[in-house]
Amino acid sequence: MDVPNERKVSKKLIPSLGGVAIFAGINISALLFMPETESPDMRILFASTIMMFFIGLKDDILVISAGKKFAIQLIAALMLVFLGDFRITQAYGIAGITTIHAWASIPLSVLVILFIINAVNLIDGIDGLAGGLTIFAASILGIWFYLAGFTIYGVLCTAMAGSLLAFLRFNLWGGAHKIFMGDTGSLVLGTILAALLIRFNELNALASDPFYFEHAPIIALSILIVPVTDTLRVFAIRIYHKKSPFSPDMNHIHHVLLKSGLTHIQASSFLIAYSGLFVMLALTIDNYMSNTLGFPLLLGASFATFGWLHYRMTAIQARQQLIIEEGKGRIIRMNAKEDEHKESRRSKKSI
């Protein structure tokens, strides 16, 4: 059960084991429809997601320390890199680098996998957001994998999107049967997304026109622009205030949107549309500038936009609070005047 507290948006006990259904849906679909379930990299990916599934399940039921959770994440990331060969080796000319050598590729790949797993986990703060963003990412990647001829990964993307559509039915409109995905779901999704994005970056180098993108790293970034920007942003805020980057708070962009008056569905829809806008921007950049310039430009634009949103939404919230306070003040003054009037009438009667 997801227990309400001062940091959580939900105010009642809600089952947080939706990730069990998501995990089952992905694996059953993959076993039924994937043409190459015996491929070594897919076996390693499934083994890593099983590890994430059980550590997430234990955390949802019993709660475990952040250190233990991170240790399992690290083991899963190392498995993906060393045993599954999910490594970033293609830099596409960023900072003049075309191919990343193993001594740099291995730690970079592990860090990217860990970051994406935690970014997806952290963005799972309101109804429909993590699920909706993952469906968006899986749809974009799945279309590319199918069209470029890498069917095995396209099937995995389809399985993930289908499982999440079923989950969102109960997460958003479940009523008394509402569920959350919990850490079980977000850790599994983050692991699969990290692997798929690395595969996209690497397999793109083998693709032929019109499915080859010179700016594959920028497109990969744009697909997960919301969790990436939000995670870096809240980490920066926490470090600035001399707190641990992993200390929980209410500074996530979805919390800011909710405080401004948006509903869960409105805030989630806005951030999914935001991701779509940045994917289109990344595809436009593909024709006009280098990766060296485009990558930091895209990330900087997202940071600036999130900063502006935080400023605007905080101003709206302050204005709403002022209106409420003014309303309370008027009521207090009206009550005071009414009390004075009653007292005056009593005085006249006594005279």
Indicate the helix (H) or strand (E) that contains 94. strand 90-94
Residue 251 labelled as part of a binding site: no
Preceding peptide of 35 cis, ω within 30°:
no
The secondary structure of residue 222, as a DSSP letter, is H
Q: Does 204 show up as a binding residue in the annotation? A: no
**Rounded CA separation 316/142 (Å):** 39
DSSP state of 176: G
Can you tell me whether residue 195 is helix, strand or coil?
Answer: helix
Helices and strands per DSSP (H, E), number in the chain? 12, 2
Q: What is the DSSP letter of 81?
A: I
- Reading the block at residue 142, the tokens are 């799945």
C-alpha closest to that of 2 among 246, 129, 180, 184:
180
Nearest to 309 by CA among 269, 259, 242, 264: 259
Please give the annotated binding residues, written as ranges. 121, 183
Binding residues for Mg(2+): 121, 183
